Amino acid sequence: MIINSIGVVDTATQRPCTHFDERPSGEEISLLVIHNISLPAGEFDTPFVDDLFMGNIDCHAHPSFSDLQGLRVSAHCFIKRTGEIVQYVPFSKCAWHAGKSEFLGRERCNDFSIGIELEGTDTSGYTQMQYNALQSLTKLLMNNYPAITKARIVGHCDIAPGRKTDPGESFDWQHYFAALF
């Protein structure tokens, strides 16, 4: 697995979306944010996460989708329950994953972070295949973006407390970090 000069992972399934911005000039990538997502909530292996990130979700497909009308979000990568990595935004660009956020007193985390979504919920366990893929991807990111250190790998809950809870109590940080350090 390698990352090319524009931030594309060669082994990831590529699904380029338009939900991103340019990073501010000279901005160093220095934060990794772990998220979770499932659409509908708690349902896996549906097309709806992809539809959301690609900007073509049918908000009438499920009653819970009414809140998604007009929402424009993305992540750099999405890791399915099978461990498949899907990349939506090159790492050189700002994916729209963090929203209103702050890390160590600095706002607008999208400007300096990479967002990885895991297919899951706060309370359902993640698969070993997801941990394996996330660990491999994290090692690759840390090698390519050395400002990302253990202290700069966080959950969405850490940069948007009170607003976000993911990756949730079901994410095993100790297990994840054990393969990295």
Which 3 state secondary structure label does DSSP give 132? helix
| Digit-coded pLDDT (tens) for 41-97 | 999 999 999 999 999 999 999 999 999 999 999 999 999 999 999 999 999 999 999
Q: Which domains does the chain have, with CATH numbers?
A: 13-178 (3.40.80.10)
pLDDT of residue 181: 79
Query: In the annotation, is 117 catalytic?
Result: yes
Mean pLDDT calculated for residue range 117-131:
97
Instruction: For residues 98 and 85, give the distance between their C-alpha atoms in angstroms, rounded to a whole number.
Output: 19
Consecutive H or E run containing 140: helix 128-144
For residue 145, pLDDT beyond 90: yes
Catalytic residue among 27, 107, 117, 119: 117
pLDDT of residue 176: 98
